Structure 1
């Protein structure tokens, strides 16, 4: 049984995504007593709409949203792994953060530590999206660990899994360990 649970949110829906591989590396890198759990259903979460953000017998909350909020509530921390789409945050990730920011002022990740990492084809490896994600998480009440960062240009992997890059693997292991320690 783990002492610390870290929710992993993945900003890419693509099965062969390098960011998915980076998330796999993070999961594999968890120190003893730490479990990283990938919430792999962001594509099922409806667009945020306050009209459907209710949970009554007549209008139950959408099941994927309830599952996302439950996973976040059960986690001690969050690791966001994301690419950069057109210089910003992928829509599915931003949507998930919007759902997790509610109810206003008391979202499921409120006060919990979070780190943002990822890789992207662009020259800066997704820095803009990672900065925007940290900003959005902070506004949503998450305790963003600004010093835990990893933005890697995806071309460094040469069609290999990120675990095959010693520097990236070491950085991910370090970030996961420090994130878990903050929980």
Structure 2
């Protein structure tokens, strides 16, 4: 079974990107397990921790390393990715030489209440992932306006289903193409 972790780039209890992640879970085909990778226990990163990594950070790195690929669902704050997501990425990439994203296939999507979705945040995220040597899905780009994806009651709009199914199929193919092969 292919395991893909999804990271919600927000700590909000009403995160629309968590809602997006849960919708993707329901659309996952048989043989694909989507699991949320939770970084909420992380404190702010500082290199002072590199010599003695905290338990929460070790667990975070292990969660990333324990999946075949990652989908990052990011909101956009002030035309960039949220600080909490950047902090989680910093923890995952440290200490130097132990980058949990190195070679890990990643796909990006995001939902926002704004008209341009999460385009600027995703561009910044792509730059970070390039530095991490994480093969990142180029197409399709998915910049969602929340009201075009979910009804007021939180249900997935039927018009959005094909967009999410296409993205998920591309993400799965990307993960299966780039996931490291276990050597017996």
- Tell me what 2:17 maps to: 19
Q: 1:122 to 1:106 in 2, by over 3 A?
A: same
- Residue of structure 2 in register with 1:58 after alignment: none
SS of aligned partner of 1:85: coil
**In the alignment, what sits opposite 2:179?**
none
| 2:138 is the counterpart of 1:146 | yes
Which of 33, 42, 46 is residue 43 of structure 2 equivalent to? 46
Unaligned runs of 5+ in 2: 176-184
In the alignment, the residues of structure 2 paired with residue 145 and residue 105 of structure 1 have an alpha-carbon distance, to the nearest angstrom, of 24
Q: After superposition, what is the alpha-carbon deviation per residue over 1:5-59, rounded to whole angstroms, capped at 9, x for unaligned? A: 111110121222211110101111212111111022x23211121110233xxxx
Partner residue, 1:5: 3
Within a 5 Å distance, the mapping from 1:104-123 to structure 2 comes to 104-123=96-115
> In the alignment, is residue 83 of structure 1 matched against residue 80 of structure 2?
no
Query: Distance in 1 between the 2:55 and 2:100 partners?
Result: 16
Count of aligned pairs between the two proteins: 174
Give the match for residue 58 of structure 2: 66
User: Comparing both structures, which one devotes a greater share of its residues to strand?
Assistant: 1
Distance 1:15 1:51 in 2: 30
TM, length-normalised to structure 1:
0.87
